[in-house]
Structure 1
Amino acid sequence: MSIEWVNRAIDELRAWGRAGGRDVDADEVRLLCDYASDYLDVNELGDFTPATFEELLLNIYPRKVIAPPESAPETVAAARTLVDFLLETEEIGGKMAARMRATLDRIEPEMPVALADTSRFGMAKSLFSAMGADALEQDVSLPAAAEASEAGEAGAEPCDCPGCSPLPPVRLASREALAEAALRVPLLTDARRLVQWMLAGGRTLDPGGGLRDGDAAEAAAQLSVAAPAFLWELAVRAGLVEVAGTAVFDADHADPLEVWAAAVRFAVEGDTGGHVTGEPLLDEELYALLDLFYRVQAPVPLDAVREYLDDDLDMADRGGADLEAVARRLVYCGLLQEGDGTLELTPLAVWGLHELYEDFEMEPSRLPDLAEADAADLIDGLLAGVLPEVAEADITGWLARRTPAQAATELLEAVSGAPAVARGVAVTIVDRLGAEAEEAVRAFLEDEELRPHAAHWLTARGLAAPALTQDEVLWMSVDMLALALPAAEEDPETFAENMAASGPPSHVIEEMWRVDHPDLVDVLELLGRSLPDQNAAKAARKAAFKARSRAIG
């Protein structure tokens, strides 16, 4: 977090650099100072010690900062610049500077290894790394979002903090389902009960538009609700009731989703005093917490949430947060739902945040409902990259709308002549279908590229099928491996493990060079790089050479 001494130090550093004609990486030095202040109780430049640099670069950075190992030299160089600055401005003496430089010399070769060691990652960093966020540690707050919008209008450089980085596309539930869910949120149900109680009793408000103390006490006793004054403010902000001076009027026909959107805005923007999460300080950071869940788009383990609260939102320094109690409050408020040791946003909360981001002009995007798409769009959508849970729901919903025969026909027709990755997706889905799809699949035995897959599908179900030639078997092997190319490039270790368990043997690989397949060379080169069996890897490299030579010839 930015603090005054860091701002002054960076201003002085820049002036020092200009005066001496030095190339100063002020942003990197600021990061060092920020982390030293946040986590190591460094409150001024003179507090830096050799141990500070060791803890920062070998513990804090690997645990907290999303940075590739190759960035380590830049960070160490910035630390050396900081040492030079400390010495020349007499914040430290010559002996201390020498000890710091010796420490940095020792750290330099160790830091890339530490940054690459995923076992050192903090839980929140691990989650953001999986999402691809560029910077985890900068403040995520409503002002940041608003400033980002203003900066965009003014043509300024965009902020690179997580709160301003591009939002991931999300799948929104239907308005009908959301409206029904909004009517069942316990928080809003209690607010409605309070409104009806006030109207039924003909009660009036205090001059400020709030509950009178006597009414608040009576409501708490009669309705068994906590914090009636907060509930009343929520009801007013959400449009559940109309107020004119001290008079109260029924707000008929309030749209449940408009009410919910206003309630979400109040929860993250209003002065809620701890009535949302049960923790006043956490209420102030609620936007950051919900924004994290929105960007992760998956159930988050409770340990990850606890670490995020303690470390990234500094709750540990403020006495800690009772996560179980916080979770219960957020479930009551309709914002989170609990799983087996996990928490995630409710569909209502996803929708409410999406609306809020639109108000902030942060350009949130939606994933189309692939269950309603045709086969080609379903395949394209799955290839565009969706979470496994979302993909599974899309496929299940898509198949539920068709008979097995219709599904097989539509999928296979959509990929006739298509690239291997698209064909692989279609074949994988068709493989879920039972024998009811036999005639539809059999019709594609005449398609040169789909014939091997159709024959294999029939054989696997004990149905009559033509025997595949050796060339067709080899072609299908290459075709299915081509499907794995994108994932293998992103996660070569997992691909290598899979190949070690079920990859083709050397004698099959040796013959693959003869296959007429557009992805043949890429497949063989991938096998040559990935196979743990050295003989099989060598066979793949030789086959790739032969395939390239044949193509040239």
Structure 2
Amino acid sequence: MDEVRLLCDYASDYLDVNELGDFTPVTFEELLLNIYPRKVIAPPESAPETVAAARTLVDFLLATEEIGGKMAARMRALLDRIEPEMPIALADTSKFGMAKSLFSAMGADSLEEGDVSVSAAEEPAAEFCDCPGCSPLPPARLAPREMLAESALRVPLVTDARRLVQWMLAGGRTPTVKGRLRVRDAAEATAQLAVAAPGLLWELAVHTGLVEVEGTAIFDGEDFDPLDTWAAVVEFLVEKETGGAVTGDLSLDEELYGLCDMLYRLQAPVPIPLVMEYLEEIGLLDDGEVDVAEAVRGLAYCGIAERSEETLELTALAVWGLREHYTDLGIEAPEAADLTAADAPELIEGLLSGMPTEMAEADIEGWLRSRTPQQAATELLGAASGAPSVVRGIAVTIVDRLGPDAEPAVRRFLDETELRPHAIHWLSTRGLAAPALSQEEVLWMSVDMLALAISAAEDDPETFAENMAASGPPAHVIEEMWRVDHPEVVEVLELLGRSLNDQNVAKAARKAAFKARSRAIG
């Protein structure tokens, strides 16, 4: 079903298919022979699976009466013709769009998620360590303070803690000598206030300053500030012993910092199975199943996380509170600026800061919506002119999202040496008139694209090698790369020489690197 969903998504994004009834035979031809080869990193042998998904979609369209029998027959006949052609199209590197060409060397997941930041090779969720400063935190997008303050006032955990304090004061009740809630008061609070964990609420109230305890006397706390209190609530939940009162599981309560840290780093809805995998990785499922539904209810009650369908994510309040906590611990926790109103250089710089994928994608879409295609292409390619390869790579990757309306702007950059190959590629993949790429330009663009992948490849050489084996340049191209007048040609060839699985091709890359170094010295 994932393939069917992807077909529908691409049809909607690129072919103006807004309703299922909008599908036509031409839609499938464009999807399978044009869009897929340009956008999807997939080996040629995967074509039958995609065609089979298209046939399943046709069956569904017919069964739901979105199309008639004659239309279904035409679609099936077309798919029969496409099936032997699609593997050829997937293997044809001249059909690759900029995004695919760039990210095929960086990792298939990067492209499918739409990530254009250099944080594409982030560690899997289960790999994160909760040691302070162990790995850099991604920039966080914070909600407005006014909105956060209003939300903090409505968190059930906080409102119940305030109710408990008022109830204690109104009844003249006193805590124990150690400042704890007395057993009889806890039982009465459960019955009268309908709160499940009065002991936890009282400890929270004392910790956050909602109430002051002196001996066995209690007093009104200091003036209540929603965000100051909320910051103390988050610190209490992730650092103090809560005995299972938060999630219903003692061990999970003890690992709440790690779970929140994982969600903070991803800053996106995380599928529940992946959360379970994380819990298994840290050993919480060894002795029995965690009741995920109860845990999620507890986290929602505390204002930490929320569940949407089959995913889990931090609330905006939790993101703010965790950032405050990280800062208190001395951990750098950058804030992500809203890039939708930035100029092109600021947009690219922000994307290079390593923001999470979904945040980057939302900013790019918002940035593009506020400009015409020509304006966007002019600004982005202008920012890339004379810039390092990583900046150029991000710029041309975003420009690759633009349709033919951007043609005049892209065409103006045919006169710039570093952008000319990219501009020619952009024009030709859209069927627009374009000069032929010279052999030197093909080589230069190959080096330029691979230069963008150097950082990610060093972080994850195995994934890089796998993707290069599936869609990297052939040996005869690598052998000639040493001739390219590109500032990073030596680094690219050395990377290929130590990363490629095919030993003959790797040897050719090392020889080419030697020639490139010798040429630079000469």
**Superposition TM-score, scaled by structure 1 size:** 0.58
* Pair 1:186–1:408, CA change in 2 (3 A): farther
Distance 2:217 2:313 in 1: 40
Amino acid at match of 2:398: I
1:429 Cα shift?
1.4
Q: Is residue 230 of structure 2 the alignment partner of residue 260 of structure 1?
A: yes
Q: Structure 2 unaligned runs (5+)?
A: 1-122
Q: Is residue 490 of structure 2 the alignment partner of residue 502 of structure 1?
A: no
Q: Is residue 170 of structure 2 the alignment partner of residue 203 of structure 1?
A: yes
Q: Deviations over 1:449-476 (max 9, x none)?
A: 1122122212222333333333323322
Choose 1 or 2 for highest CA Rg: 1
1:470 corresponds to: 439
Paired residues of 2:306 and 2:315 also in contact (CA < 8 A): yes
1:206 Cα shift?
0.6
1:522 Cα shift?
3.0
Larger CA deviation: 537-546 vs 430-439: 537-546
1:307 corresponds to: 280
Question: After the TM superposition, which residues 20-169 of structure 1 pair with which residues of structure 2 at under 5 Å, given as runs?
Answer: 130-131=127-128, 162-163=131-132, 165=134, 168-169=137-138
2:328 corresponds to: 359
Specify which of 488, 495, 505 is matched with residue 519 of structure 1. 488
1:285 Cα shift?
5.6
1:420 Cα shift?
1.6
Amino acid at match of 1:262: A
Q: Structure 1 unaligned runs (5+)?
A: 1-125, 134-139, 141-161
Amino acid at match of 2:275: L
Distance 1:549 1:520 in 2: 12
How much is the aligned-residue C-alpha RMSD, in angstroms? 4.1
Specify which of 336, 342, 349 is matched with residue 368 of structure 1. 336
1:405 corresponds to: 374
Amino acid at match of 2:225: D
Paired residues of 2:138 and 2:356 also in contact (CA < 8 A): no
SS in 2 for 1:472: helix
Q: Is residue 382 of structure 2 the alignment partner of residue 426 of structure 1?
A: no
Paired residues of 2:327 and 2:333 also in contact (CA < 8 A): no
* Pair 1:204–1:402, CA change in 2 (3 A): farther
Distance 2:199 2:312 in 1: 29
Distance 1:234 1:186 in 2: 13
Distance 2:450 2:133 in 1: 38
Paired residues of 1:205 and 1:211 also in contact (CA < 8 A): no
Distance 1:413 1:323 in 2: 50
1:397 Cα shift?
4.2
* Pair 1:186–1:462, CA change in 2 (3 A): farther
1:446 corresponds to: 415
1:15 corresponds to: none
Amino acid at match of 1:473: V
SS in 2 for 1:489: helix
Distance 2:475 2:483 in 1: 15
Amino acid at match of 1:405: Q
* Pair 1:310–1:551, CA change in 2 (3 A): closer
Distance 2:133 2:477 in 1: 51
Paired residues of 1:369 and 1:394 also in contact (CA < 8 A): no
1:122 corresponds to: none
Q: Is residue 152 of structure 2 the alignment partner of residue 182 of structure 1?
A: yes
Paired residues of 2:234 and 2:321 also in contact (CA < 8 A): yes
Taking CA–CA contacts closer than 8 Å with sequence separation of 6 or more, which of the two structures ends up with the larger relative contact order?
2
* Pair 1:354–1:547, CA change in 2 (3 A): closer
1:226 corresponds to: 196
* Pair 1:467–1:247, CA change in 2 (3 A): same
Larger CA deviation: 444-453 vs 501-510: 501-510
Paired residues of 2:174 and 2:218 also in contact (CA < 8 A): no
Q: Deviations over 1:48-104 (max 9, x none)?
A: xxxxxxxxxxxxxxxxxxxxxxxxxxxxxxxxxxxxxxxxxxxxxxxxxxxxxxxxx
Paired residues of 2:142 and 2:335 also in contact (CA < 8 A): no
Identical-pair percentage: 61
1:424 Cα shift?
0.9
1:427 Cα shift?
0.7
Amino acid at match of 2:442: V
Q: Deviations over 1:9-38 (max 9, x none)?
A: xxxxxxxxxxxxxxxxxxxxxxxxxxxxxx
**Superposition TM-score, scaled by structure 2 size:** 0.61
Distance 1:505 1:212 in 2: 75
Paired residues of 1:239 and 1:251 also in contact (CA < 8 A): yes
Distance 1:308 1:514 in 2: 48
Amino acid at match of 1:277: T
Larger CA deviation: 475-484 vs 536-545: 536-545
1:428 Cα shift?
0.8
Distance 1:339 1:328 in 2: 12
Paired residues of 1:187 and 1:332 also in contact (CA < 8 A): yes
SS in 2 for 1:464: coil
* Pair 1:403–1:193, CA change in 2 (3 A): farther
* Pair 1:167–1:544, CA change in 2 (3 A): closer
2:301 corresponds to: 332
